[in-house]
A = this chain, B = another copy of it.
């Protein structure tokens, strides 16, 4: 999709029109849009099955309010994000694939601090370690127009609640107020909360506060309100104003849950302990049920105010579920079964996310298997908001509007689309499975995985082997060749960065150069 500066005059005209509308009366049919963005939530970490069957993991969790939404919305079984937080968040806000925006690892809360671990073989490229930026010439950022800015200019009342993590402190994107949001509660440059507990002031204890102390929310300090609940109360308070004004709103409600530290939500943890669940996993399940309660409370408020039907609700995670000991319990990389591995990995456990969209004025349950990816939300949300023409500083948007899929229209084109992942970075000290220096492409049922350190290509048939247990690369050289060309072509098209060998300073091969 091409949205270049050439649309500027049309955009200005439309802007003026929207301005006129915002003065003379709101377009009544523009829906409210809410994104429930859950941090580090795995594809299996809800009681709604996103797989073809209900799994033991689905049964472990209780998300009744998400179940209700699923009865009225479109469930995407093959939705994807990137393997870690900031790249996904930047992709959503900019519409760009991570290979293009080059924020390919999580960003440090403070500017100019790379977060890669040292590697004995490869040096990561000069990626955008400071995240995105809404203004040009900020070092080590990708300059892009965030879609909330376009929504605001089109008359939407734009609100961010919770985790932000779009840019480092010392750069503009550290504040959601610079990304098109009119209201921000709780969002800053850090990627997780210091504490979920109000008795700890969510971390804001003099002398003990870290960079992860959660901002705002001081009215709850010293009390009993769990972070998830505090953010829910703030979200409801914030949307009350546009509802009162009869203005359409966009709410990005980005819970800090279920990211570590896994601190039990006291509202829900006991029943999981009573079931004999391990304390860590009981805590995790309580964080899951906590964000589900967020959804329930916000939905109830929308219903009470009579605006539920005219509200689009989008539910998703930013990457796969964490699958590492000791933060989680059980053998490493089993926490997202039947998917392989977890957060940080290019295997399905790291990138496949639950995505559910309830459209406005729609009560039909659908399941869509077409592969979609997080940057698709940029054009999708703008289309849902009826922002039909707009101008961005990014020369093109990689995402594709999935509104036709939500509306039940599909065609073969979706299945031949290539989805790209690219992580020329070192996330954790130990490598693998699928973690550190990987690229991948999915087209149709096939997925090619490129391990840069091993200079190896793997091929999986996701339709028959969702767990990526059987590498078909040896058996199906033709498909490997085809997909390695496709991946290479896309990486070059997006000017993707490759890591370098420490030994000789040469960059690693493109996938189509690997034998």
A→B interface (CB under 8 Å): 19, 22-26, 110-111, 152, 167, 169-175, 177-178, 182-185, 188-189, 201, 204, 206-211, 213, 215-223, 234, 237-238, 241, 244-246
Set of chain B residues within 8 Å of A218, measured between Cβ atoms: 169-170, 174-175, 188-189, 215
Query: In the assembly, how many copies of this chain are there?
Result: 2
Q: B residues within 8 A CB of A172?
A: 219
Measured CB to CB, the closest approach of chain B to A209, in angstroms, equals 4
Given the interface contacts A207-B209, A209-B206, does A222 sit within 8 Å of B175 by beta carbon?
A: no
Q: Choose among B175, B185, B210, B237 the residue that contacts A206 (Cβ–Cβ < 8 A).
A: B210
In the assembled complex, which residues on chain B have CB atoms less than 8 Å from the CB atom of A221?
110, 169-170, 174
Alpha-carbon distance A204/B201, docked complex (angstroms): 15
CB of B219 within 8 A of CB of A170, answer yes
Interface-central residue, A23, A152, A167, by most chain B CB under 10 Å:
A23
Asked if residues B171 and A219 are in contact (CB atoms below 8 Å), the reply is yes
Distance in angstroms between the alpha carbons of A213 and B220 in the assembled complex: 17
The answer for the CA separation of A189 and B207 in the assembled complex, in Å, is 17
Contact partners of A23 in chain B: CB under 8 A: 25-26, 245-246
Closest chain-B Cβ to A176's Cβ sits at a distance in Å of 10
Residue of B nearest to A22 (CB): B245
User: Do B215 and A216 touch (CB < 8 A)?
Assistant: yes
Within the complex, the shortest CB–CB distance from A276 to chain B, in Å, comes to: 37
- Contacts A152-B241, A244-B19 hold; do A216 and B175 have CB atoms under 8 A apart? yes
Q: What is the minimal beta-carbon distance from A489 to any residue of chain B, in angstroms?
A: 37
Is A24 a contact of B24 with CB atoms below 8 Å?
yes
Please determine whether A220 and B170 come into contact, CB atoms closer than 8 angstroms. yes
* Complex contact A110–B174 (CB within 8 A): no
Shortest Cβ distance from residue A248 to the other chain B in the assembled complex, whole angstroms:
12
With both chains docked as a complex, state the minimum distance between the C-beta of A241 and any C-beta of chain B, in angstroms.
Answer: 6
CB neighbours (8 Å) of A167 from chain B are 219
Distance from A156 Cβ to chain B, minimum over Cβ atoms (Å)? 11
